[in-house]
């Protein structure tokens, strides 16, 4: 087996993620449950609009080699093929959408990973070290199995860690999620990463919720990279927040050793797609707006990066 020193990602990574499935079909189209073939086709066409926006952003003069997409197999097979043919970094999710507990989208996940052959395999995991111990243990077992498989097949692993507040933690913060995010979540993220590493989970890239303070980014990156994991990178996710909030997070982390980029999705594409669906703009205008939104984050990042 490869050692932890072999894990990591050795360049910046500016991702446009649109692997949303359940939330995408329900919140944008009001479709509950399994979509029909026609509905699947329609949702896939909206994912194509996002991808076309991504392509336009790259053509505007941004560095193609550090830009990538994160898209799902269910609605994005055509996009995956197009992006791979164009030479972009492609990440694909392995988790079942909309679950509190991590499980695989496909029981034969290896077959699907081999078929889509992404540059990075991504998981989204809700893990609070003070949360449900049995659930944490079950999740860690599945994730360690995936980690071993990815290591064996020489594939990169992107781990999206969400640390939702427990009821007791929220009570301590008098119900204020912002207080939890600033005062409690950073230390819990450090504990979560350490616990997951001890469970045999080795990520190449940690995809992390934004942090308000630079010193918190430093602490989280240090634990992500400790024990010889010097090349492991962290990217900042957008969590559907306002453009201003996401910029604050990026500014706080942009020059921290170990922070290598971002993955900002809904903040970039949601409003243009909503306007397209409501008939206020056409497909071309929607992809133009997505390109503009994504480009502005990329340019801000590149300018702020010392």
Q: What angle do CA 18, 23, 25 make, to 5 degrees?
A: 85
Residues 265, 54 contacting (CB under 8 angstroms): no
Strands (E), 62-146: 67-71, 89-93, 120-126
Task: Give residue 10's pLDDT band: very low, low, confident or very high (50, 70, 90).
Answer: confident
Model confidence at 1: pLDDT above 60? no
pLDDT in tens, 184-233: 999 999 999 999 999 999 999 999 999 999 999 999 999 999 999 999 99
User: For 180, which DSSP code?
Assistant: I
Q: Identify the pLDDT of residue 5.
A: 74
Report how far Cα 75 is from the mean position of its chain's Cα atoms: 17
pLDDT in tens, 67-106: 999 999 999 999 999 999 999 999 999 999 989 999 999 9
pLDDT in tens, 127-185: 999 999 999 999 999 999 999 999 999 999 999 999 999 999 999 999 999 999 999 99
Name which of 28, 183, 196, 173 is nearest 102 in CA terms: 196
Domains located in the chain, CATH noted: 4-304 (3.20.20.70)
Considering all CA atoms of the chain, what is the largest pairwise distance in Å, rounded to the nearest integer? 54
Query: pTM here?
Result: 0.96
Contacts of 195 (CB under 8 A, 6+ apart): 127, 129, 136, 140
Question: d(Cα 8, Cα 4) in Å, to the nearest integer?
Answer: 9
């Amino acid at each position: 087996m490869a050692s932890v020193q072999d894990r990591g990602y050795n360049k910046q990574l500016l991702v446009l993620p649109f692997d949303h499935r359940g939330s995408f079909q329900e919140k944008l189209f009001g479709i509950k449950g399994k979509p029909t073939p026609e509905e699947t086709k329609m949702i896939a066409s909206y994912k194509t609009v996002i991808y076309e926006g991504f392509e336009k952003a790259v053509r505007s003069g941004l560095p193609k080699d550090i830009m990538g997409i994160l898209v799902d197999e269910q609605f994005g097979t055509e996009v995956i093929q197009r992006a791979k043919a164009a030479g972009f970094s492609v990440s694909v999710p392995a988790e079942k959408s909309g679950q509190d507990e991590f499980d695989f989208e496909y029981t034969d996940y290896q077959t699907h990973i081999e078929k889509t052959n992404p540059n990075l395999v991504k998981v989204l995991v809700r893990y609070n070290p003070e949360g449900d111990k049995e659930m944490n243990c079950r999740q860690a077992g599945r994730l360690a199995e995936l980690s071993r498989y990815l290591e064996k097949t020489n594939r990169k692993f992107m781990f999206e860690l969400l640390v939702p507040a427990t009821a007791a933690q929220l009570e301590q913060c008098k119900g204020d999620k912002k207080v939890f995010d600033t005062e409690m979540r950073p230390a819990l993220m450090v504990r979560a990463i350490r616990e997951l590493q001890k469970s045999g989970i080795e990520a190449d890239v940690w995809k992390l919720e934004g942090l308000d303070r630079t010193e918190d980014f430093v602490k989280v990156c240090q634990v992500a990279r400790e024990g010889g994991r010097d090349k492991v990178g962290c990217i900042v996710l957008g969590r559907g927040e306002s453009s201003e909030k996401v910029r604050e997070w990026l500014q706080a982390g942009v020059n921290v050793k170990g922070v290598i980029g971002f993955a900002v999705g809904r903040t970039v594409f949601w409003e243009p797609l909503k306007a397209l669906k409501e008939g206020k703009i056409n497909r071309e205008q929607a992809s133009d707006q997505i390109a503009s939104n994504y480009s502005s984050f990329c340019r801000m990042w590149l300018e702020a990066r010392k």
